[in-house]
Amino acid sequence: MYHANQAAWNVKDLSLNIKRLSPGDACLELSWNYPNKGRAAGDVFFELTFGKAGEKQEGLKFNINETSAKLSGLENGCDYEVTLYVKRPGKNRPVEKSASRLFRPGLVPGRVVNYIHPDDFAYGFSGRSPASPSILKLPDGSLLASHDIFWSSGGQNLTKIFRSDDEGRNWEFLTDLYPCFWGKLFLYQGQVYMLGTSTEYGDLLIGKSQDGGKTWGEPTVLIKGGDGLKGGPHKAPLPLVEHKGRLWAAIDYGAWLAGGHASGVISAPLGSDLLLASSWTISPFLAYDKTWPGTVEGPCNGLLEGNPVVSPQNELFIILRYQTIEAKPSYGKALMLKVVEADAPLEFHKAIDFEGNLSKFTISYDEKSKRYWSLVNKVTSKNLKQRNVLSLVTSKDLENWEEAEEILNYENNAWPEDSSLVGFQYVDWIFDGDDILALSRTAINGANNFHDANYITFHKIKNFRSKI
């Protein structure tokens, strides 16, 4: 049972609830929350039952003060269910029960932050697939990870936040945000912020946490929402950048059913109160124009999910995902739009060769190497929707890109399931000294399909500069 605090963005969990699942190789790690623990008597305990779906369940007993467990000796590739009970010894004593959760053990690359089985309706009001990963490193060295919960025609309005205090090796659930979708975590003046929407094409929202992401105040509406037919604000977890005394973010407006998305930016002066809507300037939105020089020929769904990046010449550009799958060429192009003024529409700059233009990508600049870097989905087959190869690419000038290294490649048939159902996508990442820390929307081990992922996974790319 969830209760949204109307004066804040937090969701208060009022029931026994399994908060995190992490299936691995023949095992499961899980954690839970029990709000009534302080009122439990000394003879109260947790009983955890688990087993293959539809078969007899095994039971394990845990102390009422415990919050997590690990199950081993499971069978990879099989569906299991797990349920948590609060029990009081004796007949006719009340029993509290969590929702039963489904999971499938199996080998997983990286470290699992969270998992949702495609047939698990625990968050059915929002969806059944973890999506839109966002990662942030706090000043104390801990990591925050967030993801929303997606499903086609679902509510798409819940975001979950997790924390790691050991450089990403282990993760714990921190809080829920509702309504929140497509959110990006970022730091501003030492405080944690989230820029997201209330739902798909809903209100564009910004909220703030003053305690490292544990609790959140009431969010501010920056752009009123629309719908999937007429269009509304659209975004992805993409960086915000500082340039010429302002904080900038790229925003789309439109919808697939409305014919595509127009491109714009929002910005606020550095030092201003980001929770005041009046601090923000919203540019007019620029529609895609197929007559721009260098654009593809034939049917094209245009642009979305742009990266604000400052060029070597100290100009601000937006580099955007380019939906060319039915056009000629069908792959390998991205578009650059130029930011002129905060209140002016973007201007077309250039079409560039870019690997991975058909899926969301994040671009950031590394001062030490004097290079721009990105993690992209490389297409290596006739399947242009392929997302099972993740590559690190780099550029000196934003216009000419080269591959540094393949980070993950699950295209070959040695993987024990159809590799077309595997995806490492919508990767959000940050620099961390000599390393890159990345968060992936990962579909593997029985996801609904390559797009509708079942994991959020954490990955570390060590000594990334040596891969040039």
CATH number of the domain where residue 229 is located: 2.120.10.10
Tokens of 413: 């048939």
Q: What is the token pair recorded at 440? A: 């992936």
Q: What was the pLDDT predicted at 43?
A: 77
Instruction: Indicate if 55 and 137 belong to the same structural domain.
Output: no
Q: Residues 59, 119: one domain?
A: no
Q: What is the pLDDT of residue 38?
A: 63
Do 462 and 322 share a domain, yes or no? yes
Domain encompassing residue 367: 111-467
Judge if 245 and 173 occupy the same domain: yes
Q: Are residues 181 and 234 in the same domain?
A: yes
Residue that terminates a domain, selected from 51, 83, 103: 103
φ/ψ of residue 408, rounded to 5: -135, 135
d(CA 74, CA 360): 35
Residues 195 and 172 in one domain: yes
Residue 188 predicted with pLDDT over 50: yes
pTM of the predicted model, to two decimals?
Answer: 0.95
Q: What is the 3-state secondary structure (H, E, C) of 132-157?
A: EEEEEECCCCCEEEEEEEECCCCCCC
Of the candidates 357, 363, 387, 358, the one whose C-alpha atom is nearest the C-alpha of residue 375 is: 363
Confidence of residue 41 (pLDDT cuts 50, 70, 90): low
Do 130 and 18 fall within a single domain?
A: no
Predicted confidence at residue 1, as pLDDT, reads: 36
How far apart CA 14 and CA 2 sit, in angstroms, is: 6
Supply the pLDDT for residue 153: 85
Last residue of a domain, one of 43, 68, 103: 103
Based on the domain organization, do 283 and 243 belong to the same domain? yes
> pLDDT confidence of 13, banded at 50, 70, 90?
confident
The pLDDT assigned to 56 comes to: 87
| pLDDT at position 414 | 58
Please report the pLDDT score of residue 463 as a whole number: 98
Report the CATH number that the domain containing residue 87 is assigned in CATH. Answer: 2.60.40.10
Cα–chain center distance at 100: 25
- Asked whether residue 81 carries a pLDDT value surpassing 90, the answer given is yes
432 and 386 in a common domain: yes
Query: Residue 406: what pLDDT?
Result: 96
Predicted confidence (pLDDT) per residue in 271-305, tens digit: 999 999 999 999 999 999 999 999 999 999 999 99
Q: Indicate if 268 and 343 belong to the same structural domain.
A: yes
Flag whether pLDDT at 92 surpasses 70.
no
Given pLDDT bands bounded at 50, 70 and 90, which one contains residue 415? Answer: low
Residue closest to 300 by CA, chosen among 336, 262, 267, 260: 260
Count of the separate structural domains present in the chain: 2
At residue 57, the 3 state secondary structure works out as coil
